[in-house]
Amino acid sequence: MIKILSILSILFIYACANTSPSNVKTSDTQKVTSIEYGIIKSSTPVKIKGEANWIGATAGGMIGGLLGTAVCGEEEIIGTKCQDIAVVFGTIGGAAAGTVIQATLGNHDGFQYIITIDECGESIATCKNNEDKVFVQGGKEAITKGQRVVIIYGDDIRVMPYEE
């Protein structure tokens, strides 16, 4: 049972995504994505709240259900009233706890960037600043004001410093 709980705990922790712009999902590899260039107009620190999904609830429910089987002692088998109730309440409580824990573990720091997007014609020499867009992404250090960046559009949007 300890091995099962360990495996479920590892899957549970793995479910908490990292939003660092240098981490790329497999689904973003080997395909054409569009990009834009711009300049950081401002960066503001933000707290990004974690979100729960079915993985946290499922892992928590499984752990709670397994723990519920141990409530009435080893001499009783599944199907007895005590153990049935313990398994049901353990599963429900574990799912609720898994949801809350996954959301809490997903909390992290990030930055909101206002970026003045370049509008370029046929050549980079004809670029002009056209419009502002806002992006939020996780990270420990902000991209500095005035830094030229590339915005990469895929399943996730990433803002990365860019040097020509």
As a whole number of Å, the end-to-end CA separation of the chain is 56
Q: Which of 47, 37, 46, 48 is nearest to 115 (CA)?
A: 37
Q: What angle do CA 14, 7, 104 make, to 5 degrees?
A: 40
Query: With contact defined as beta carbons under 8 Å apart, do 71 and 12 qualify?
Result: no
- For residue range 6-44, list pLDDT tens digits in order: 555 555 555 455 556 666 666 666 677 788 889 999 999
Q: What is the mean pLDDT of residues 153-158?
A: 85
Burial 136-145 (b: 16+ CB within 10 A, else e): ebbbeebbee
Q: Which pLDDT score is estimated for 53?
A: 86
Residue 74 has pLDDT above 70, yes or no: no
Q: Which pLDDT score is estimated for 115?
A: 93
d(CA 84, CA 134): 52
Q: Which of 110, 135, 112 is nearest to 36 (CA)?
A: 135
Residue 54 has pLDDT above 80, yes or no: yes
Which residue did the predictor score with more confidence, 159 or 50? Answer: 159
Residues of the chain with CATH 2.40.50: 32-49+108-161
- For residue range 77-115, list pLDDT tens digits in order: 665 677 788 888 889 999 999 888 888 888 889 999 999
- For residue range 116-149, list pLDDT tens digits in order: 988 765 555 566 667 889 999 998 899 999 999 9
Helix, coil or strand: residue 131: strand
Q: Which pLDDT score is estimated for 46?
A: 93
Architecture of domain 32-49+108-161: Beta Barrel (2.40)
Residues contacting 65, CB < 8 A, separation 6+: 87, 90, 91, 94
d(CA 163, CA 161): 7
Q: What angle do CA 36, 22, 49 make, to 5 degrees?
A: 95
Q: Which pLDDT score is estimated for 164?
A: 73
Report residue 10 as tokens.
Answer: 């590892």
